[in-house]
Structure 1
Amino acid sequence: MKKFLLPLLALALSATAASAQTAPDQAGGRPRFTPEAMAARQTEGLTKELGLSADQAAKVQPILLARSQEMMAMREQMRAGTADRDQLRTQMQANRAKYDDQLKAILTPDQFAQMQTLEANRRQRGGPGAMQPQDGKVKEKDGKVKIKTKTDA
């Protein structure tokens, strides 16, 4: 009996932990990560991609958590139809600049430039959560990344 209960208990605990990290998306039917899980995942990815030190990762995670929480709140406003889309877009751009400034203070210039390149490439190929520019071209100059679209030309 003990041999049967132990694996069952382990399975129940792992299912509980997994459900705590995601919440079902009512509209799309796929799970959404909590802001905490998203921040942890993003920190892990940046640590791997940029070679962050343990100290840098510890400083980056709270910034990514705050960003995830704000973005989720804005998306909920948009879904509920309680906010103007253009106003939210402007607010999201301001938030991105604010968090980029915070990250720039923690990352080395090379790491920050690499992070911007990774984000630009993700946007260009249409990665998760990325806005795809129409026929966009990514250019990097002096550590700054610019996406040029047809409308910019």
Structure 2
Amino acid sequence: MKNLMLVLVVIFLSASATVAQERGNRQGAGQNRTPEERAKAEVERLGTALSLNQSQRDSIYKYSLEQTKEQQALFQQGEGDREKRMEQLRSSREKYDTKIKSFLTEDQIKKYEEAQKERTQRRQPRNE
């Protein structure tokens, strides 16, 4: 009976550790990607949501890659004024949104803005 109980406890702990590890892997997956992988993921996300043509995808990829490298450089600065870096990131994001919209049609811009609002609303609970 003790052996059976011990086996059940080991199975339970093993399953719990596996679930926790998988959850951790999914949450940190975006943080370890290269700028190229992030730009590609952004183009895929936008391509699906906005029905982008190949020219739009290429333009957005180039700009997104540039933007991602800029953001990575800001994060790698490490020490320093956190507020200043956050303001730089906000400014960079606004510039990015403006540039992305320049590649889109009017209908795509509306869809893009709606998607941005939804993303902001989903992030809201995490920031509070």
Tell me if both proteins adopt one fold, taking TM over 0.5 as the criterion.
yes
4+ runs deviating over 2 angstroms? 28-31, 130-134
- Structure with the greater alpha carbon radius of gyration: 2
Structure ranking higher in helix proportion: 2
Higher relative contact order (CA 8 A, sep 6+): 2
Letter in 1 for 2:60: V
CA shift for structure 1 position 113: 2.4
CA shift for structure 1 position 110: 2.1
Consecutive unaligned residues of structure 1, counting only runs of 5 or more, are: 1-27, 135-153
CA shift for structure 1 position 44: 1.0
TM-score (norm 2): 0.68
Partner of 2:71: 71
Distance 1:132 1:113, change over 3 A: farther
Q: How does 1:10-49 map to 2 (within 5 A)?
A: 32-49=32-49
RMSD, matched Cα: 2.3
Distance 1:124 1:133, change over 3 A: farther
Partner of 2:61: 61
Say how many residue pairs are matched. Answer: 101
TM-score (norm 1): 0.58
Of residues 114, 118, 121, the one that matches 1:117 is 114
* Aligned-partner SS, 1:107: coil
* Alpha-carbon contact 1:123-1:131 (below 8 Å) kept: no
Question: Equivalent pairs: percent with the same residue?
Answer: 29
Consecutive unaligned residues of structure 2, counting only runs of 5 or more, are: 1-26
In the aligned structure 2, how far is the partner of 1:110 from the partner of 1:84? Answer: 40
